[in-house]
């Protein structure tokens, strides 16, 4: 996996002490997702370069053409919104798409993530969306970061659920979620999409006049820390809630402990916490899933699967829906939670073939 030199990364990521507004104003229709209509303020003018505000029906975000990720995604969660969201069937992972409203030279692409070992991690989650339109918008790559699979599927899902519960118990919550880039080296997907070192989710509860943030490394450790909005600003160079008083920003509220609802279903070697050097996302072998049934193994690359069953059919298994897809299907290699597997082993592992899907000849 390519790495960007520290000199180049420094031009865009290093934090400085003065504040500037984003390069373009957030559209008025997106202000309902922001506390008092105020967009987060960047403390680093370089972070504001090549940024594009994107306004969806239930998400306001600032996209970076440098990182090819959002710098932040903002939401206003209410009781009514969460209740409506819970009544909707969830979209499947095939809904991921490139963002057509972004300039072609700035947008991330589906190919950037394919076989990278990283999930396409929602910043504003699908589970928060209360309409079909909003759900589809949440699957835009403009709302995605490269996220370590076990972080995304276990810890972060637990944090997202905890924040929804806060909205239900307190009436409303304002949320700003995004990546953080720290350290002396930054990794990238195919030299294009920056891989965050950390992820944050900041919240403000108007009913309590309290705020705080979850801050976690982008790895499989499941570790996180509660921090104040002021401390978050020092770490990432972003004032997520400009209207709040200094006192509220400096005091970290007590955050509910996230409860995981799923186990880690796929942990590829290139996404392991202990990275010792750049890895080729196309050829790095993946460790078989710990949840695979005896005799069945899941692989992060098609090449590794074919080595396991030479001459046999290899399929893509969706580890959430327990359905598998054959080569030639638009879902082959493209669902958020999945792996390659030998077809002859799918039945013993509890997977079934997708209905009405044409098989390769």
Count of all residues that appear for the chain in the document: 361
Q: Is 152 within 8 Å of 112 (Cβ atoms)?
A: no
Same domain, yes or no: 20 and 67:
yes
Same domain, yes or no: 87 and 207:
yes
pLDDT tens per residue, range 242-265: 999 999 999 999 999 998 888 776
Same domain, yes or no: 244 and 313:
no
Q: How far apart are CA 109 and CA 97, in angstroms?
A: 8
Q: How far apart are CA 58 and CA 133, in angstroms?
A: 9
Same domain, yes or no: 290 and 150:
no
Has residue 268 been placed in a domain?
A: no
Has residue 277 been placed in a domain?
A: no
Segment (H or E) for 230 = helix 229-236
Query: Which domain covers residue 355, as residue numbers?
Result: 285-361
Same domain, yes or no: 293 and 245:
no
Same domain, yes or no: 215 and 300:
no
Q: How far apart are CA 112 and CA 190, in angstroms?
A: 6
Dihedral over alpha carbons 183, 214, 23, 47 (to 10 degrees)? 0
Per-residue burial over 216-252, b if 16 or more Cβ lie within 10 Å, else e, is: bbbbbebebeebbbbbbbebbbbbbbeebeeebbeeb
Same domain, yes or no: 245 and 307:
no
Which CATH number does the domain housing residue 327 bear?
3.40.10
Same domain, yes or no: 163 and 240:
yes
User: Radius of gyration of the chain from Cα atoms?
Assistant: 20
Which residue do the tokens 């969201």 mark?
85
Number of domains within the chain: 2
Has residue 261 been placed in a domain?
A: no
Q: What is the pTM of this model?
A: 0.70
Has residue 100 been placed in a domain?
A: yes
Has residue 266 been placed in a domain?
A: no
Same domain, yes or no: 12 and 87:
yes
CA distances from 18 to 49, 228, 320 (A): 15, 19, 45
Has residue 86 been placed in a domain?
A: yes
pLDDT in tens, the chain (361 residues): 556 554 454 344 433 323 334 434 445 668 999 999 999 999 888 788 999 999 999 999 999 999 999 999 999 999 999 999 999 998 876 799 999 999 999 999 999 999 999 999 999 999 999 999 999 999 999 999 999 999 999 999 999 999 999 999 999 999 999 999 997 789 999 999 999 999 999 999 999 999 999 999 999 999 999 999 999 999 999 999 999 999 999 999 999 999 888 877 654 433 333 332 332 333 222 333 333 333 457 766 676 677 777 888 988 888 767 788 888 787 787 776 677 788 888 887 777 888 766 555 4
Which CATH number does the domain housing residue 184 bear?
3.40.570.10
């Amino acid at each position: 996996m390519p790495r960007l030199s520290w000199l180049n990364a420094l031009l865009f990521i290093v934090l400085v002490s003065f504040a500037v507004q984003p390069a373009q104003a957030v559209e008025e229709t997106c202000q309902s997702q922001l506390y008092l209509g105020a967009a987060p303020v960047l403390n680093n003018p370089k972070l504001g370069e090549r940024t594009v505000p994107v306004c969806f029906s239930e998400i306001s975000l600032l996209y970076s053409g440098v990182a090819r990720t959002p710098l932040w995604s903002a939401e206003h969660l209410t009781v009514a919104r969460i209740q409506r969201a819970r009544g909707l069937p969830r979209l499947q992972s095939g809904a991921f798409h490139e963002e057509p409203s972004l300039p072609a030279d700035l947008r991330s692409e589906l190919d950037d993530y394919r076989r990278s070992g990283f999930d396409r991690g929602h910043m504003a989650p699908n589970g928060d969306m209360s309409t079909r339109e909003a759900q589809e918008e949440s699957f835009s790559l403009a709302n995605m970061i490269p996220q370590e699979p076990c972080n995304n599927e276990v810890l972060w899902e637990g944090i997202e659920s905890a924040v929804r519960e806060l909205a239900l118990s307190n009436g409303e919550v304002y949320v700003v979620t995004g990546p953080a880039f720290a350290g002396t080296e930054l990794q990238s997907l195919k030299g294009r999409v920056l891989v965050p070192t950390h992820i944050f989710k900041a919240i403000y509860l108007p009913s309590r006049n309290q705020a705080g943030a979850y801050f976690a490394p982008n790895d499989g450790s499941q570790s996180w820390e509660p921090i104040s909005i002021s401390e978050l600003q020092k770490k990432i160079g972003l004032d997520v809630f400009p209207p709040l008083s200094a006192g509220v920003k400096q005091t970290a509220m007590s955050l509910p402990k996230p409860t995981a609802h799923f186990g880690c279903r796929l942990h590829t070697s290139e996404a392991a916490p202990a990275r010792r050097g750049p890895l080729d996302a196309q050829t790095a072998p993946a460790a078989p899933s710990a949840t695979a049934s005896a005799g069945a193994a899941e692989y992060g690359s098609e090449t590794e699967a074919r080595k396991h069953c030479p001459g046999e059919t290899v399929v893509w298994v969706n580890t959430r829906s327990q359905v598998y897809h054959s080569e030639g299907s638009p879902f082959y290699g493209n669902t958020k939670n999945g792996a390659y597997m030998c077809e002859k082993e799918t039945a013993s592992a509890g997977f079934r073939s997708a209905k009405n899907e044409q098989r390769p000849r």
